[in-house]
Structure formats: C-alpha cells, structure tokens
Chain A
Amino acid sequence: MKAIVTIMLKDGVLDPQGKAIGHALSNLGFGQVGDVRAGKIIEITLTETDPAAAKAGVEDMAKTLLANTVIESFKVEIAG
C-alpha cells in the first residue's frame, strides 16, 4: 500500500518560489499564467494493509514531521 502526501504552503503564506516560477513562465511567453504555488509530494510505501489505518498513520507522520503546520497544509491519499 502506498501513501501520497501533498504538502503546500498555506493560503496567505508568501510563496516566493511559486512567484519566481510564475515569472519565469510569463517570461517564456505563457501568457495565461496566473498565480503559481509550489509544494512537495512525498510517497511512502506502507506495510499496513487497511486503508483507513494507513491514512491515520500517515496523517500522524505528516503532523509530526512531514509538514510544519504553522506554515504548511497537507493532504494524504492512499493509493492501492
């Protein structure tokens, strides 16, 4: 069983990396670019076989280490 944790800076927290990517896209002529936010994805292979227990475990990991909830939000998805 695999878990995919998506971590993003919270709305309202300045994301200079996202802004820089947005500027670069505009400079490359992609005129349709609005706001850009950059985050990270962490994939974790689990020995747990129960999806609900796996999700609860990974949410605990995210709160403890993977995300800094002062500035970041996270989303946990369990993929088969």
Chain B
Amino acid sequence: MLATGILIFPGINRERDMAMAVEQSFGKAPRMIWHKETDLTGLDLIIIPGGFSFGDYLRCGAMAAHSPVMQGVKAHAARGGYVLGVCNGFQILTEAGLLPGALLRNAGLRFLSMDTMLRVERNDTIFTAHYQKGQVFRAPLAHGDGNYTADPATLDRLEGEGLVAFRYADENRNGSARAIAGIYSPNHRILGLMPHPEDLVDPLMGGSDGKPLFDSLAAA
C-alpha cells in the first residue's frame, strides 16, 4: 500500500474530500501535512488537493509553489515518488515547474461549477489502471482558472510522448489547449488534472466515477 500524504496550505479546502476518497479505497487514512513541513521521506504518494491556496494571490498556486513543503515535494519527485495534484494542486505543480504549461483564466471568464466528462487517454499508469483506455467518465469541475496552455512545441511533445492523461470529452468549457484536462510527467509518476475525481467516489455523492482512480492507486 502506498504511504500517502495530503498537503495542506492556507486556503486549501478540498483536503478532507481527498482524504476520504483515499481512505475509502486504501483502507487507511493518509497523513495530513502542513505546508511548513519539509521532510517528506517515507511517503510514496503525495497529493496536493484543491482549493484557493494563499487566496490565489498573484496567480493561482504561485505562493504555494514556493512554500517550504514544496522543497520536500521536489525531492520526492526527484526520487521517483508519485504525486497527484487536483485543481489548485495542478496549478501548484505547474507553478513549481513539476509539470509543464500553465492554467489561465477560463476562456469564458466564468467560474465553472458543474460536471464534465473526461476521456482516459491511457490506462497503463498507476493512476488509471482501473479505467479502460478511451473510457469516458464524469468528474465535477470547480475552478476559475483551468484553461490549460503551453507553447505549441510543448503541446506536441505532451501528445507525442503520451503525456496527456485526460481530455474533456463533452465540451471544452474552460478553453484548454487541445481539450487537455490533465497531464503526466515524462515518467508518468506525477499527474495533474483540473476536475475533481475525489468528489465522485460513493453513490451518496451522486456517483462513483472517480473511484477507479483511487482504486488504481490502492492496487499499486
């Protein structure tokens, strides 16, 4: 079982949903990690949840990306550790340089709070083994800055090297380049995505479309 930690920054508000999703699939509660900790040794998987870290000041994720705990996350990533960033967590990973590109203001300027459909681009990673390749599943959106962008060379590289994790399968509501909803690092051990699979992991939440992601990690 992956030893798992969830980072908490001031202004993060989805850490409990994430912890619940992890505990449900893993059978064990994750360690909750305050942003001033720096020693993350002993963990296999670090999750950066959604929210509005540091009030989204300057740019979404910019302040959190330079906080003390991120030195530990960078060392963890350099050791080949697994990292999952959702929503603000994805923004933090791009701001920290652990994933390429950036998340701009939604093309329509509106905050998006609704469900979207995601297509699984590959199911041979630790995050997606319990999905089928090409499977389309439902995931809630809750963001104002989810418009993924990168220069054309980076986008070509992401697509050419199989680093696109998920694409918007119904409507590309935030205007993301090439309908990209989530991407991997080159070793497929870091995943960042804007929608919230942790918000649909139990029929009581209205569905369990996001549960296979956590089941995939639990089986690793």
Q: What is A's interface to B at a CB cutoff of 8 Å? A: 9, 13-14, 16-17, 20, 64-66, 68, 70-71
A14-B175, A16-B106, A68-B95 are known; give 5 further A-B pairs, CB within 8 A.
Answer: A9-B104, A14-B147, A68-B59, A70-B101, A70-B151
Interface residue SS majority, chain B: loop
- 9 nearest A-B residue pairs (beta carbon): A70-B102, A71-B102, A16-B109, A16-B105, A68-B102, A20-B109, A68-B59, A16-B107, A65-B66
In the complex, the chain B residue whose C-beta lies closest to that of A64 is B66
A-B contact count (CB 8 A): 36
B32, CB-defined interface residue at 8 Å = no
- Give Cα A18 to B150, complex, Å: 20
Within 8 Å CB of A14, what residues of B?
Answer: 104, 107, 147, 149, 175
Within 8 Å CB of B108, what residues of A?
Answer: 16
Q: List 20 A-B contacts (CB under 8 A).
A: A9-B104, A13-B149, A14-B149, A14-B175, A16-B106, A16-B108, A17-B105, A20-B109, A65-B62, A65-B66, A68-B59, A68-B62, A70-B94, A70-B100, A70-B102, A70-B149, A70-B150, A70-B151, A71-B102, A71-B104
